[in-house]
Chain A
Amino acid sequence: MGLTLTNVDVVYGGVIQVLRSANIEVPDGQVVVLLGSNGAGKTTLLRSVSGLLAAELGRVTAGEIRLDGHDLTNADPTAVFGRGVVQVLEGRKVLEHLTVEQNLRIGAHRRSDQKAVKRDLDRVFAYFPRLPELLGRTAGYLSGGEMQMLLLGRALMAQPRLLLLDEPSMGLAPKLVSQLFEVIGRINREEGLTVLIVEQNARAAIRVCHYGYVMEGGRIVLHGSREQLEKNQDVQEFYLGLSLSEERRNFRDVKHYRRRKRWLG
């Protein structure tokens, strides 16, 4: 079943259209990545799923969003959360004046079975062995990498059915980024957790994904499996920074410009 977006349009404030007829499918147990440059509409797409659009005066004006057949179009964020969709916002939004432990416990605030919560806490500690040492620390003073671990841990404490990650690699050192994606891949393999990741760091994200979409100007312009994306010339050139040959290329290369233009169309 999984998550499906069918021809979704999103408009902010009744006038600014940000998503144009987006179609995305996130099958159960897969990691799907959404690539694109700044302002392509990636975050908007995530927010349309989690229901956080309304807080910014956005609305889904056409199309529908379904999870396991349930309609989530323009649903209330608390109701979406109740269906097990947990979004990790971009910009490392820990609850900064609370302790690490309180941050983790708030992930489980809807769950009453304390035994299961305790079990999940141990599971989170197994994925992030640094966290137990940090329990009493104020979350706002953690390092960037520690915060990202805490955020993933907090999301896992909610027993997600679908995890939405918004630019988890932002502002992290390359080594931390690859560690982070490795853990995301492990959680997906070991627990079958479905994940939708929005990323600018295409190289790291493509490596863990099963399927990927590329967005430009509010549209999905390209999609394919990991192998297809890795082989695709345009993706290689625009997102992975690889050029076809070793020789130097001219910036005014007409072909490059035309190809790019075709996308933006």
Chain B
Amino acid sequence: MIKLLQVLLDGVLVGLVYGLIAISFVVIYRASRIVNLAQGEVLVVGALLFWTFTLGLQAAGLPVPLVVALLLTGAACVAFGLLLERFVFRPLIGQPAFAIFMASIALLVMLRGFAQLIWTAETRPFPQVLPSGAIEIGPLLMTSRLAIGAAFTVALTIGLHLFFTRSRRGLRLAAVAEDHNTALSLGVSVRSAIAIAWVLGTIVATCGAIVLLSGRIISLDVATIGFKALPVALLGGLESIRGAPLAGALIGIGEALAMAYLDPLTNGVASNVLPFAVMIAVVLIRPQGLFGWKRIERL
């Protein structure tokens, strides 16, 4: 019984981190209708930037305080997000989904190459930002790194939801998410909305990287987390901020259960396959996901 509870708790916590990365997909998709398959690579680049401003500068003899490093990383993410938007995806707005799909695969390979070129392929330790160790709740253990990450995901979700539904700036982005032409007719600048979305998406992905990697090892392979977050974004609904953490928790629980009870029988395959089985099921049964926008058909 305790084991089951522990499995569920772990699943929820890990799932919420997936949810955090799924939010970065959702924010970008809402504004630009683009599913960026290279989001995992974007996350790795964000993580490597953070490494550069912390341990990298330290190794070069110029250590800066953590706050400054975070600010520098934030600024670099803004520049990186704008770069991606301006030179890769803006020219593709309105193009068929297939063209965007191919471009994001090309971007995936290119980012991997550039990252290898700039930072080399070696694995390196990631700075310890969040406390290590675990919090004990009765007989259960909660990794404090993941617990903080989960709390951050929930707070970010509530914050973004309020932002998109209440504030004037957020409503502008919501209008762009609905329809570019209508948004233009209401005097909303679609271009700047999309740029904001890419910046936001890059920053959120980097936050995900920090939660995920704090005190652990970073290598280019970490990018596969992007593919894990994709089923989460689909299940939650590509337009829905709220859906992302919920779907993340569901998939996290499923994965943890599979890991605990099915993996010993299947050589560890079950937990890896499960999220993608869910993805296919979502596409077949409910393409708009749990909370995504169903196209309103008027008969």
CB within 8 Å of B: which residues of A? 50, 52, 55, 77-78, 80-82, 86-89, 93, 95-98, 102, 105-110, 140-141, 154, 158
B278 touches A (CB below 8 Å)? no
A140-B296 contact, Cβ under 8 Å, with A81-B187, A95-B174, A102-B165: yes
List of A residues within 8 angstroms of B185 by Cβ: 50, 52, 77, 81, 86-89, 93
B283 touches A (CB below 8 Å)? no
Residue of B nearest to A97 (CB): B293
Task: Evaluate contact between B189 and A93: CB separation under 8 angstroms.
Answer: no
Give the shortest distance, in Å, between B126 (CB) and chain A (any CB): 39
Give the shortest distance, in Å, between A119 (CB) and chain B (any CB): 17
Interface centre among A80, A81, A86, A106 (most CB of B within 10 A): A106
Per CB-CB distance, the 7 closest pairs between chain A and chain B, nearest first, are A81-B187, A140-B296, A95-B178, A93-B182, A106-B171, A109-B168, A77-B184
Task: Evaluate contact between B178 and A97: CB separation under 8 angstroms.
Answer: yes
Residue of A nearest to B187 (CB): A81
Task: Evaluate contact between B181 and A93: CB separation under 8 angstroms.
Answer: yes
List of B residues within 8 angstroms of A158 by Cβ: 186-187
Tally the A-B contacts, defined by beta carbons under 8 Å.
72
CB within 8 Å of A: which residues of B? 165, 168, 171-172, 174-175, 178-182, 184-189, 239, 293, 296
Apart from A109-B186, A154-B186, what 9 extra A-B contacts exist at CB < 8 Å?
Answer: A55-B184, A81-B186, A89-B182, A96-B296, A97-B293, A109-B168, A109-B171, A141-B296, A158-B187
List of A residues within 8 angstroms of B186 by Cβ: 81, 86, 106-107, 109, 154, 158
Residue of A nearest to B192 (CB): A78
Partner of B187, one of A78, A102, A105: A78
A102-B189 contact, Cβ under 8 Å, with A52-B184, A93-B181: no
Task: Evaluate contact between B178 and A110: CB separation under 8 angstroms.
Answer: no
A106-B184 contact, Cβ under 8 Å, with A96-B178, A97-B178: no
Task: Evaluate contact between A78 and B188: CB separation under 8 angstroms.
Answer: yes
List of A residues within 8 angstroms of B171 by Cβ: 98, 102, 105-106, 109
Q: How far is A86 from B185 in the complex, measured between Cα atoms in Å?
A: 7
Partner of B180, one of A55, A97, A107, A154: A55
A selection of 8 A-B contacts at a CB cut-off of 8 Å is: A50-B185, A55-B180, A93-B182, A93-B185, A95-B178, A98-B174, A106-B188, A107-B186
A78-B296 contact, Cβ under 8 Å, with A52-B184, A55-B184, A106-B171: no
List of B residues within 8 angstroms of A110 by Cβ: 187
Q: How far is A264 from B2 in the complex, measured between Cα atoms in Å?
A: 84
Give the shortest distance, in Å, between A107 (CB) and chain B (any CB): 7
Give the shortest distance, in Å, between B10 (CB) and chain A (any CB): 35
Q: How far is A87 from B186 in the complex, measured between Cα atoms in Å?
A: 8
Residue of B nearest to A138 (CB): B296
A78-B181 contact, Cβ under 8 Å, with A95-B175, A96-B296: no
Residue of A nearest to B239 (CB): A97
Task: Evaluate contact between A109 and B296: CB separation under 8 angstroms.
Answer: no
Q: How far is A149 from B174 in the complex, measured between Cα atoms in Å?
A: 21
Interface centre among B174, B181, B185 (most CB of A within 10 A): B185
Q: How far is A89 from B117 in the complex, measured between Cα atoms in Å?
A: 50
Give the shortest distance, in Å, between A228 (CB) and chain B (any CB): 32
Q: How far is A89 from B168 in the complex, measured between Cα atoms in Å?
A: 22
List of A residues within 8 angstroms of B189 by Cβ: 78
List of B residues within 8 angstroms of A98 by Cβ: 171, 174-175, 178
List of A residues within 8 angstroms of B179 by Cβ: 93, 95
Give the shortest distance, in Å, between A254 (CB) and chain B (any CB): 44
